[in-house]
A and B are shown apart, each in its own frame.
Chain A
């Protein structure tokens, strides 16, 4: 234990890099998922084709290979060198964004047709309909899967040490090599990864609760802090309670 406490600042530095990769990757993945997911839900074939190409290409490439490509092949091909951390963020964002786009597309398509017809009856344009009605309703549907994707992305940041990013895994590796304390060095990393994941899970649950409340769905677990720890109820719109 003392071993870990002494080296806590180093671990926290690594964890901070992991958090940066997670936030950056998630932000990029989110934007890509929303853009390509929305394109994929459109009626016209062209935006759908664009979305399909993106999803199929980047879903099919391992994040690690993409990361290597960004870090090592891109400079050779273009003469443009990305900073290691940035290369990792781009690779993770492109990869997870492809999964996210499918989630967004499915959530948009799951908005009842009757809701879309109501927007037609109010003469809304496609943009107004998407912004005011479809995406706000699809949002609650996306969040549980987005939560999983964020956790997956956070865990996938662990391969970034292979392109030289000093993340939590890199710190653990250095500890192991520097001290020979293999078991304890990785226990430190395990604990911190777990804690980061717990914070992400809680945050996503908070968002899910808010989204469901906005749709008039009251979670069965009541409100308050303790309710955060329970899984949110999805799809149970009961009349008479707010």
Chain B
């Protein structure tokens, strides 16, 4: 989908079949370093998109912008036709306030490379505290949902365990359950298997495959697991130097990459045994 298809500077209007996420000329700089360079791309509702590319190419920054952990330097992000990185003020857009961001980020969930479970809580509390306090879910309902989600990720018996009693793979599966408990429409997965021992990777990927197959959650996934990317994603974006070097169906990107940068990146990943 060419990024210039809709008049993005006006913001996509509420029409049927509109993209869920739109990046419109997004620039992100950290000091002198430009991480995203006038980036345009769109994600459709329910679409599963994998972001690949060398480290430092801006993939994780895209997820962090969508989780509102970073602010755009220039450009705009739209979600469901509404400004996301900015808020309407008068006839224009102003940088989003914290309360505006809180209202918007409700639709987004994220799973981190290092799990980031709360060590002061049990597994159950990790999953139930945010629904109870943020969404106002009744405690019984939150508990029921926590045990359903733990069953989904294969950790039903660990509900009263402490995060430090779990392996990395188990912690990551709890983190996935925690993100799902908030019922996000958009799930961001930031190199969720990179910190795991090789033998624990498969369990986590199986859980994500199941979520991909059984839900219509829109997923943006940064990963070096090319087999997983090929299996679950509708589209693969190859990033290089803050821009999209190539995008396409996973079969095309992995089977018949056109860009030299994509070819050399895939070669280097495969050489490293992934």
Give me 8 A-to-B residue pairs in the complex whose CB atoms sit less than 8 angstroms apart, sorted by A's number.
A118-B118, A120-B105, A122-B109, A123-B130, A123-B182, A216-B162, A239-B165, A241-B164
Instruction: Determine the distance from Cα of A157 to Cα of B161 in the docked complex, in whole angstroms.
Output: 44
A186-242 contacts to B, CB under 8 A, are: 214-217, 237-242
Would you call B167 and A118 a contact (CB within 8 A)?
Answer: no
Q: Whose C-beta in chain B lies nearest to the C-beta of A131?
A: B133
A110-146 contact mask (Cβ, 8 Å, vs B): 1 or 0: 0000110110111111001000110011000000000
Q: How many residues does chain B have at the interface if contact means C-beta atoms less than 8 Å apart? A: 30
Which of B119, B130, B178, B182 interacts with A215 by CB under 8 Å?
A: B119
B238-259 contact mask (Cβ, 8 Å, vs A): 1 or 0: 0000000000000000000000
For the complex of A and B, list the 4 residue pairs with the smallest distance between their C-beta atoms, beginning with the closest: A216-B164, A122-B130, A118-B116, A136-B120
Would you call B67 and A132 a contact (CB within 8 A)?
Answer: no
Would you call B110 and A125 a contact (CB within 8 A)?
Answer: no
Instruction: Determine the distance from Cα of A114 to Cα of B67 in the docked complex, in whole angstroms.
Output: 13
Instruction: Determine the distance from Cα of A237 to Cα of B162 in the docked complex, in whole angstroms.
Output: 11
Would you call B164 and A118 a contact (CB within 8 A)?
Answer: no
Would you call B105 and A123 a contact (CB within 8 A)?
Answer: yes
Would you call A137 and B165 a contact (CB within 8 A)?
Answer: no
B41 at interface by CB-CB < 8 Å: no
B234 at interface by CB-CB < 8 Å: no
Instruction: Determine the distance from Cα of A237 to Cα of B118 in the docked complex, in whole angstroms.
Output: 13
Q: Whose C-beta in chain B lies nearest to the C-beta of A126?
A: B98
CB A173 to nearest CB in B, in angstroms, measures 47
Would you call A238 and B164 a contact (CB within 8 A)?
Answer: yes
Known contacts A118-B118, A121-B67, A132-B118; 5 further A-B pairs (Cβ under 8 A): A117-B112, A118-B112, A214-B120, A237-B164, A241-B164
Would you call A125 and B165 a contact (CB within 8 A)?
Answer: no
Would you call A117 and B116 a contact (CB within 8 A)?
Answer: yes
Would you call A123 and B102 a contact (CB within 8 A)?
Answer: yes
CB B273 to nearest CB in A, in angstroms, measures 25
Chain A residues near B179 (CB, 8 Å)? 121-122
Q: How many residues does chain A have at the interface if contact means C-beta atoms less than 8 Å apart? A: 25
CB B209 to nearest CB in A, in angstroms, measures 22
Which of A120, A128, A137, A240 interacts with B119 by CB under 8 Å?
A: A137
Which of A123, A128, A133 interacts with B120 by CB under 8 Å?
A: A133
B68 at interface by CB-CB < 8 Å: yes
Chain B residues near A238 (CB, 8 Å)? 164
Would you call A124 and B133 a contact (CB within 8 A)?
Answer: yes
B94-113 contact mask (Cβ, 8 Å, vs A): 1 or 0: 00000000100110111010
B134 at interface by CB-CB < 8 Å: yes
Would you call B109 and A137 a contact (CB within 8 A)?
Answer: no
Q: Whose C-beta in chain B lies nearest to the C-beta of A237?
A: B164
B165-204 contact mask (Cβ, 8 Å, vs A): 1 or 0: 1110000000000110010000000000000000000000
Q: Whose C-beta in chain A lies nearest to the C-beta of B179?
A: A121
Q: Knowing A120-B68, A216-B163, A242-B165, say if A132 contacts B119 (CB, 8 Å).
A: no
B33 at interface by CB-CB < 8 Å: no
Q: Whose C-beta in chain A lies nearest to the C-beta of B99?
A: A125
Chain B residues near A237 (CB, 8 Å)? 119, 164
Chain A residues near B68 (CB, 8 Å)? 120
B129 at interface by CB-CB < 8 Å: yes
Would you call A115 and B118 a contact (CB within 8 A)?
Answer: yes
B56-85 contact mask (Cβ, 8 Å, vs A): 1 or 0: 000000000001110000000000000000
Would you call A137 and B164 a contact (CB within 8 A)?
Answer: no
B109-127 contacts to A, CB under 8 A, are: 109-110, 112, 114, 116-120
Would you call A240 and B67 a contact (CB within 8 A)?
Answer: no
